[in-house]
């Protein structure tokens, strides 16, 4: 347990797995909500990286910097905002097209 | 981690996980999962019993078990910022845990009946599941608050309870009055919470004598700093300890509904009756008193206690007067809660910490019983709450009547019942306080008048509800005793309203006392455990010992006169109530004519507090301020900043349109344009096909290529 928790690579592997899954979801889903979920995964992968690097940076230098934590806070907040806006868009698209397949969204009008 | 610490953590986590389960899948479970919440809190009760038994086996005033962990450590050497959280179990915690889990278990059990209609169907559809999830969260908040060893987690649980009270008071959300009441409760307590939070920050950051700041929220560190006199210095011309005490007491004023923030509590009756029982007995209002009990050394060292005593005295007296003119059965109980909370705060103010905690426990037990009994009456009367429409119910609801009578005797202070013992201690302490400070005669006078009034208005409730003739024939004929899951809680709580359980004396200390030799004389039957409550609950270490010894001596001196006066007042109150509301000689109408009109007007308008807050604070203060801001928005932000930009942009637009016409259109488009773009467009349009995932794929692929060939490039 301690060996895993003290290993930076472990966190990076987890975050890259998250990133790849998120990317795959964003590229392949035929459902706009699924794509947004993929984007959320990508964002959170970045968040994990920030926090992990911050934690190990701190261990190495014992400085009180909080940049990584603050960045991950911003990521969380931005992700929440993004979700709100995205869902609102999806809702409007669904109202006008009765579908949320992104391939259907070719026109800017209507 | 010792077993008791582990139990304490589980006690908090069990109702919390019940809340999560209920919220997630409660609607789909059989019986909508009321058994999940009830079972979880019952398991917590069993664990609390285990802690309670450890307290008994130790049987020492100094029994403490604690553990703490570092939660957050992000400071530097110059500015330490380290938050430690932990569990602290002593005798007070053990007694509180036992009382809260017991009351909460019984209230959950009662709700399984009360929240269903008379055919056993959940009265509010799927909201039945949410009701139990909120009850669980509420209880988890209170339990977390009790086991906290620091102000920080205490405050988190404190706010959690604020949220739950909002959710539960406004549970009947189709009623506009319930929605308003929940908002009022939330906003009013928020005022006090803000004070508490400022106090906490001041405590955490204020520079101590040695130049550092305390930098900790743990009770241990706070007590140590207080007793070593580390908090010197002044703030706004007063000692900082005074401000600390006052700000922390603000939290109590809000949460325990003390004067002048008492306005939310009567309105909180809009919630379902089990919620009223939970808020008024075991959880929310008790939390305020509990906070002062934990922070007593600060209040003592800051010399805030006299203010506390006056706040308590005013609250108890004025609420008791209001209670006499209420016709809603729950409103009477609401004002009696206010009044009894006033007693607890008064007891803290006069320095009798034990008596306050004692009354907190006894009051919680009999008030939970009273509320649930009134709930049973309301349930039997098909949700009729007006006492004028009741009457003669004792034949129809014998068990409810018996339990409510016992609890009423207890709150009235009749010897032999728990309320007598605890209230007697408070009254005697208030006398001792007056003896010490003859100028503060208002405090004991208010306390004694309230004692008489309490007996009067509580028996008014009994006579109007259970005796006399039935005023609503239809409801009376339909009324019948409540089902077994609703009367068992009543019976358990009523049986815990006997003073002998707390003192060991059958009469609650009337015939017999603790002798100078340390032995108990008279009708004490618990042997070694006589007077266990007073033995186990100790004053905090920082409290001035020599002062307390003197105070104890005065209390001992005043014990006889205080006790006999309180018995006399209680019996007079009951007798008078019987004459007025049973014999009708003198009749209530006649009595009410004796009271001058302006007093009636004041009582009917709740002393104009709501009027004052709404007319003066909200209409005269907040609305103008918000108007001022909106004027600023309109003129400065909108007028100058936004419209000003518009002019700048318009000018730029004109310039660039001239540029467009002459250079772009004339030279580039007509000259270079034409063939080239259109051929490029038709050939490259496959890239711009509007399929967003293709774009993303290209972007990701490009990024990957860039990373792979970074070395080559």
Say yes or no for a CB contact (<8 Å) between A66 and B692. Answer: no
Q: In this predicted structure, what is the pLDDT of residue B674? A: 62
Residue B691 has phi, psi (to 5 degrees) of -90, 110
Parallel, antiparallel or unpaired: strands B238-239 and B234-235: antiparallel
Say yes or no for a CB contact (<8 Å) between B74 and A23. Answer: no
Taking one residue from A and the other from B, the number of pairs with CB-CB distance under 8 angstroms is 25
B4-8, B243-247, B259-263: which has the minimum mean pLDDT?
B259-263
Distance CA B75, CA B82 (A): 7
Q: In this predicted structure, what is the pLDDT of residue B678? A: 67
pLDDT band at B59 (very low <50, low <70, confident <90, very high): confident
* pTM of the predicted model as reported, rounded to 2 decimal places: 0.76
Q: What is the pLDDT of residues B122-136, one digit of tens each?
A: 776 678 888 889 999
Q: In this predicted structure, what is the pLDDT of residue A59? A: 59
Please identify which residue in the block is written with the tokens 């398991």: B43
Q: How many CB atoms lie within 10 A of CB B186?
A: 18
Q: What is the mean pLDDT of residues B339-358?
A: 87
Q: In this predicted structure, what is the pLDDT of residue B70? A: 84
Q: What percent of chain B has pLDDT over 70?
A: 91
Position B383 pLDDT exceeds 70: yes
Distance CA B179, CA B183 (A): 6
Residue B436 in 3-state DSSP?
A: helix
Nearest CA in chain B to A67: B74
Average pLDDT, chain B: 82
Say yes or no for a CB contact (<8 Å) between A64 and B697. Answer: no
Say yes or no for a CB contact (<8 Å) between A102 and B696. Answer: no
Partner-chain residue, chosen from A23, A35, A64, that has the shortest CB–CB distance to B700: A23
Nearest CA-CA distance, residue A100 and chain B, Å? 13
Say yes or no for a CB contact (<8 Å) between B692 and A105. Answer: yes
Q: Evaluate whether ipTM surpasses 0.95.
A: no
Q: What is the pLDDT of residues B22-40, one digit of tens each?
A: 888 877 887 787 888 899 9
Q: In this predicted structure, what is the pLDDT of residue A20? A: 93
Q: In this predicted structure, what is the pLDDT of residue A110? A: 46
Say yes or no for a CB contact (<8 Å) between B75 and A64. Answer: yes
B186-195, B632-641, B694-703: which has the minimum mean pLDDT?
B632-641
Residue B86 has phi, psi (to 5 degrees) of -170, 180
Q: What is the mean pLDDT of residues B589-610?
A: 74
Smallest Cα–Cα separation from B604: which of B321, B223, B281? B321
Q: In this predicted structure, what is the pLDDT of residue B542? A: 47
pLDDT band at B516 (very low <50, low <70, confident <90, very high): low
Residues 6+ apart with CB under 8 A from B548: B351, B539
Q: What is the mean pLDDT of residues B508-516?
A: 68
Which positions of chain A have pLDDT values less than 70?
Answer: 1-5, 58-65, 106-110
Q: In this predicted structure, what is the pLDDT of residue B707? A: 85
Q: In this predicted structure, what is the pLDDT of residue B140? A: 92
Residues of B whose CB is below 8 A from A35 = 692-693
Q: In this predicted structure, what is the pLDDT of residue B14? A: 92
Q: In this predicted structure, what is the pLDDT of residue A47? A: 92
B17-21, B79-83, B265-269, B455-459: which has the minimum mean pLDDT?
B79-83
Q: In this predicted structure, what is the pLDDT of residue A107? A: 65
Q: How many CB atoms lie within 10 A of CB B283?
A: 28
Position B211 pLDDT exceeds 80: no
Helix ranges restricted to H, B350-441: 353-380, 398-412, 418-436
Residues of B whose CB is below 8 A from A103 = 691, 693
Structure tokens at B555: 């209390």
| Sequential DSSP letters for B154-166 | HHHHHHHHHHHHH
Higher pLDDT, B479 or A25: A25
CB B433 within 8 A of CB B445: no
Q: In this predicted structure, what is the pLDDT of residue B546? A: 65
């Amino acid at each position: 347990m301690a060996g895993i928790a003290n290993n930076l690579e472990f966190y990076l592997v987890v975050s890259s797995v998250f990133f790849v899954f998120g990317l795959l979801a964003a590229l392949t889903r035929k459902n706009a909500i699924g794509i947004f979920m993929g984007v959320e995964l990508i964002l959170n992968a970045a968040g994990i990286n920030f926090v992990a690097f911050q934690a190990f940076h701190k261990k190495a230098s014992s400085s009180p910097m909080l940049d990584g934590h603050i960045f991950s806070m911003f990521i969380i907040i931005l992700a929440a905002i993004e979700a709100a806006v995205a869902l609102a868009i999806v809702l409007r698209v669904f109202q006008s097209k009765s579908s949320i397949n992104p391939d259907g969204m070719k026109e800017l009008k209507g | 981690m010792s077993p008791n610490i582990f139990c304490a953590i589980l006690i908090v986590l069990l109702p919390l996980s019940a809340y999560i389960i209920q919220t997630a899948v409660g609607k789909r479970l059989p019986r909508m999962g009321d058994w999940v919440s009830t079972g979880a809190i019952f398991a917590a009760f069993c664990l609390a019993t285990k802690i309670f038994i450890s307290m008994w086996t130790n049987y020492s005033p100094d029994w403490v078990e604690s553990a703490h962990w570092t939660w957050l450590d992000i400071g530097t050497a110059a500015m330490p910022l380290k938050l430690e959280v932990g569990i602290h179990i002593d005798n007070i915690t053990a007694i509180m845990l036992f009382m809260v889990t017991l009351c909460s278990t019984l209230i959950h059990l009662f709700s399984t009946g009360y929240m269903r209609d008379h055919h056993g169907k959940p009265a509010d559809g799927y909201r039945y599941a949410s009701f139990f999830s909120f009850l669980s969260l509420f209880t988890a908040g209170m339990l977390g608050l009790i086991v906290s060893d620091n102000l920080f987690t205490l405050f988190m649980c404190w706010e959690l309870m604020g949220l739950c009270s909002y959710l539960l008071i406004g549970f009947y959300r189709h009623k506009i009055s319930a929605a308003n009441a929940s908002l009022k409760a939330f906003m009013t307590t928020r005022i006090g919470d803000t004070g508490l939070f400022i106090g906490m920050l001041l405590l955490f950051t204020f520079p101590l004598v040695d130049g550092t700041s305390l930098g900790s929220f743990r009770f241990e560190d706070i007590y140590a700093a207080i007793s070593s006199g580390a908090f010197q210095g002044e703030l706004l011309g007063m000692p900082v300890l005074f401000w600390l005490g006052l700000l922390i007491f603000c939290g109590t004023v809000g949460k325990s509904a003390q004067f002048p923030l008492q306005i939310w509590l009567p309105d909180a009756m809009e919630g379902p009756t089990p919620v009223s029982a939970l808020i008024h007995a075991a959880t929310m209002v008790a939390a305020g008193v509990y906070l002062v009990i934990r922070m007593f050394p600060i209040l003592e060292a800051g010399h805030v206690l006299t203010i506390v005593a006056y706040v308590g005295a005013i609250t108890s007296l004025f609420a008791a007067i209001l209670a006499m003119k209420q016709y809603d059965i729950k409103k009477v109980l609401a004002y009696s809660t206010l009044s009894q909370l006033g007693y607890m705060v008064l007891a803290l103010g006069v320095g009798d910490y034990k008596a306050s905690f004692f009354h907190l426990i006894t009051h919680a037990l009999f008030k939970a019983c009273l509320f649930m009994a009134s709930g049973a009456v309301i349930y039997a009367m098909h949700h009729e709450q007006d006492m004028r429409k009741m009457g003669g119910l004792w034949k129809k609801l014998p068990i409810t009547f018996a339990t409510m009578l016992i609890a009423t005797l207890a709150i009235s202070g009749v010897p032999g019942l728990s309320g007598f013992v605890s209230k007697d201690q408070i009254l005697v302490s208030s006398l001792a306080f007056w003896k010490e400070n003859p100028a503060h005669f208002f405090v004991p006078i208010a306390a004694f008048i309230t004692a008489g009034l309490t007996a009067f208005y509580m028996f008014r409730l009994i006579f109007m509800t259970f005796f006399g003739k039935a005023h609503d024939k239809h409801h009376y004929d339909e009324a019948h005793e409540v089902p077994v899951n609703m009367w068992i809680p009543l019976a358990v709580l009523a049986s815990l309203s006997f003073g002998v359980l707390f003192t060991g004396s059958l009469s609650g200390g009337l015939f017999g006392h603790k002798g100078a030799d340390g032995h108990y004389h008279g009708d004490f039957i618990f042997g070694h455990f006589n007077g266990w409550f007073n033995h186990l609950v100790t004053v905090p270490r920082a409290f001035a010992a020599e002062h307390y010894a003197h105070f104890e001596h005065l209390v001992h001196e005043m014990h006889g006169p205080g006790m006999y006066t309180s018995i006399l007042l209680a019996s007079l109150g009951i007798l008078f109530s019987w004459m007025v509301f049973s014999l009708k000689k003198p009749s209530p109408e006649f009595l009410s004519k004796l009271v001058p009109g302006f007093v009636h007007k004041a009582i009917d308008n709740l002393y104009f507090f709501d009027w004052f807050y709404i007319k003066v604070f909200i209409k005269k203060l907040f609305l103008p301020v918000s108007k001022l801001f909106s004027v600023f928005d309109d003129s400065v932000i909108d007028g100058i900043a936004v419209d000003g930009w518009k002019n700048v942009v318009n000018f730029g637009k004109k310039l660039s349109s001239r540029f467009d016409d002459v250079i772009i259109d004339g030279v580039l488009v007509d000259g270079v344009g034409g063939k080239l773009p259109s051929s490029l467009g038709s050939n490259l349009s496959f890239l711009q096909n509007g399929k967003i995932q293709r774009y993303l794929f290209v972007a990701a692929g490009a990024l990957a290529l860039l990373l792979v060939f970074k070395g080559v490039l």
